[in-house]
Amino acid sequence: MRHRVAGRKLNRTGEHRLAMRRNLVSSLFEHETVSTTIQKAKEVRSFAEKMITLGKKGDLAARRRAISLLGNRDIVVQEDGVPVKKGTVIGKLFSEIGPRYLDRAGGYTRIVKLQLRRLGDNGQLVLLQLVGENEKVEKKKKTTKKQTEKPAEAVAEETEAQELTEAVEDDASAEDSASSEEMVEKAETDDEKKEQ
């Protein structure tokens, strides 16, 4: 029986699962999106979110823990046929990805199902992506009947405030109309002076 045994075996040995998890998460941080099977994506998502939480902390202990769990793979880009090192995965995690999610309390990744199937075994393919920075989490407020009902004093204060603002706006519009009449009279007198 598998009581209280967490995680999927994915038909791999323990070392192979660990290496696969590290490679997928490193590729996710490097490219910010990875195509894989749905089982692997679900297994890797929690590990990736834990790494991003370490990246949000940003201190030396968190950096050392992330290196021990993930490794410190180089990010290499081909420029004019020559491989050029652009940094490391841990560097990108702590300098770009971690600060991006400082105001977000979890849910850093998403799984998007694709219509494509893998050719060899017809496995379901998905995209494992980092959630964009422009997508904010909006918390819905639950309002009860007591919260929606306002006391009579609050309603009276709101109506008084509205009446005061309307009175101020009326005074301002009256002053604007008076000043506009004065400007018209000045313009007419200036025109008369020019004609003479």
**Residue 33 contacts residue 130 (beta carbons within 8 Å):** yes
State in words which class domain 14-130 has.
Answer: alpha beta
Band (pLDDT 50/70/90 cuts) for residue 2 is confident
Q: For residues 123-137, give the mean pLDDT.
A: 82
Please indicate, yes or no, whether the overall pTM of this predicted structure exceeds 0.75.
no
Position 166 scores a pLDDT of 72
> Within a 10 A sphere around the Cβ of 70, how many other Cβ atoms?
22
Q: What angle do CA 158, 163, 165 make, to 5 degrees?
A: 95
Average pLDDT, the chain: 84
**Residue 20 contacts residue 66 (beta carbons within 8 Å):** no
The pLDDT tens digits of the residues spanning 150-164 come to 556 666 667 666 776
**Residue 71 contacts residue 91 (beta carbons within 8 Å):** no
Domain positions in the chain are: 14-130, 147-195
